[in-house]
Amino acid sequence: MDGLEARHTLTEATSVHAGRIVAAMDRLLAWNPTEDENRKLIKHLRNERTALFTFLYDPTVPATNWWGEQAIRPAVVTRKIWGGNRTAVGAATQQTIASFLRTCYQQRVEPCPILEDLLRSPAIGLALLPSLASGP
């Protein structure tokens, strides 16, 4: 069996398993719970059903959020070292700054000129980052 045949067989096997997983989820989504929290969860899952298993059909979509978890790890470590935020405003500020810096890093954009423009602007505004679609 050459490489192409092996990939085709693997794809067929994966497709069979994916179909079973989706069928099992459909059976779960047919459930009509009596508790409010369970109803909210089922409603949400029904609304997101088409996106639940995208990773099974699109090899470019990861099955976990590991990369996202790793992206926020520095901010979490910093928060723990500093003993957390003392106020909700402080927590929101740290979250916004960390998100901005991480976005700049991922898009290979230097954050300092953007921050300079924002800090020097007389009007409150949003930072304009290059679109991901346009590339780095």
pLDDT tens per residue across span 81-90: 777 777 888 8
Who's near 16: CB < 8 A, 6+ residues apart? none
pLDDT band at 41 (very low <50, low <70, confident <90, very high): very high
* pTM beyond 0.75, yes or no: no
Q: Which of 78, 72, 81, 121 is nearest to 100 (CA)?
A: 72
- In whole angstroms, give the CA distance from residue 109 to residue 92: 23
Residue 43 has pLDDT above 90, yes or no: yes
In degrees and rounded to multiples of 5, residue 16 shows phi and psi of: -65, -45
* Average pLDDT value for the chain: 81
Residue 26 makes CB contacts below 8 A (sequence gap 6+) with none
